Structure 1
Amino acid sequence: MESADDRYYIEKVKNGESASYAFLVNKYKDMVYSIGLKILRDADEAQDLAQESFIKAYQQIHTFQGNSKFSTWLYTITYRTAVTRLKENKVNTITLNEETHEVPDMLPGQFEQLHARQIKQQVQAAIQKLPEVDAVLITLYYINDLPIKEIEEITGLSKANVKIKLHRARKLLEKDLSYLLEEKYEGR
């Protein structure tokens, strides 16, 4: 059970076994990095933010009462740290690392896999174009399947505000990705 594992390792860390914290870092590092990347829009900044968030969480783990899931508590630290850093640095640029690839001869099935990867990349690029908070909300709700209540806790936004922002973000994504739907209906 996810929460039982978290509680077990949290208690070990609280009792001085700092090496047990590695379990929590490994479990949540991808999502912490993802939140940072969605807000800061820079891979290096997101990496630094992830490290800072895990350090803050480690230093404050004695304050974790278990009233919410550990992931919610950690994502809240990450979100607030990222928003603060964004305000301080006024980061407004998007850094995209584009690589050129030669397209090799395809075997049956590889074209479909390539097409699926391209669609995934296009969706991720469209999410990156959203305002920072909207990109985080879309990621938390649709990619990580977090409930609205947990997103409220993480972001500090009201339930109504989360729903409104999700609705607006969906509309922006729908507009930005409408060509994908057209392709689907054209029989591609």
Structure 2
Amino acid sequence: MNESELIRQVQNGNSNAFRYLVARYQKLVVHITGRVIQSQEDMEDVCQDVFVKVFRNISRFKGDAKLSTWIASIAYNTSLDYLKKYRKKELDFTDRLKPVENGDADNSQGLEKKDLHRYIREQIELLPLHYRSVVTLYHLEEFNYKEIEEITGMPEGTVKSYLHRARQLLKDKLKFAVTDEVLMEGAIR
């Protein structure tokens, strides 16, 4: 089923079409909310809220953006609303990063690729919220700058700046954990 037909059927109240929409975009919603909300239980509640909002507001969808961008925007904003309402002040970023001992750099192989990917994901989780969100949307969900601007409401320049800063923070944390060869292989862009 193509996107416009799916939207039309959901707008007409077809519950099977809505179930299909949920199945099609569930991974996207979980990925975005999971990067913002750390608690599994809370993240699941927010994901459910996202799809309730999608269902209630699908009639307002005008097709100016892709459906995935519109849903991602709802997921991002619902997650931020949840944090504003329920979350205590975030810990200072520098206190939360997991240190890598300089001795680890002596290992000529650095981290194994599998370990490296896990380590990078752990470090992404520890980034400040806006950096984490932009990295997730750009690198993991593969949205472009314009789409991220639509999802987050941040100007494109801010998106680029946050992405640059997040990459720099990640590279700084990785410089003792990986060899230059691993970085050159594209483990982090």
Q: Where on the TM-score scale, by shorter chain, does this alignment land: which range? A: 0.7 to 0.9
Q: Which of 170, 175, 179 is residue 176 of structure 2 equivalent to?
A: 179
Q: 79, 82, 90: which one pairs with 2:76?
A: 79
Give the match for residue 35 of structure 2: 38
Tell me the TM-score normalized by structure 1: 0.80
Secondary structure in 1 matching 2:118: helix
* Deviation, structure 1 residue 41: 1.6
Q: How many correspondences in the alignment?
A: 163
User: Are 1:69 and 2:85 an aligned pair?
Assistant: no
CA distance in structure 2 between the partners assigned to 1:59 and 1:161 by the alignment:
31
- Superposed displacement of residue 141, structure 1: 0.6
Deviation string 1:5-51 (CA, Å, 9 cap, x unpaired) is: 22111111112212111121111111211111111122111111111
Residue matched to 1:141: 138
Q: RCO (CA 8 Å, sep 6+): is it higher in 1 or 2?
A: 2
Show the counterpart of 1:105.
none
Measure, in 1, the Cα distance between the counterparts of 2:84 and 2:33.
13
Structure 1 ranges of 4+ moved more than 6 A: none
For the pair 1:28 / 2:25, whether they are aligned, the reply is yes
After superposing the two structures, state which structure 1 stretch, 34-43 or 114-123, moved more: 114-123
Deviation at 1:183, TM superposition (A): 7.3
Please name the residue that 2:114 is paired with: 117
1:47 aligns with 2:44: yes
Gaps of 5+ in 2: 92-110, 183-189
Structure 1, unmatched stretches of 5+, are: 95-113
Q: 1:49 to 1:167 in 2, by over 3 A?
A: same
- Scaled by the length of structure 2, what TM-score is found? 0.80
Residues 37 and 92 of structure 1, relative CA distance in 2, 3 Å threshold: farther
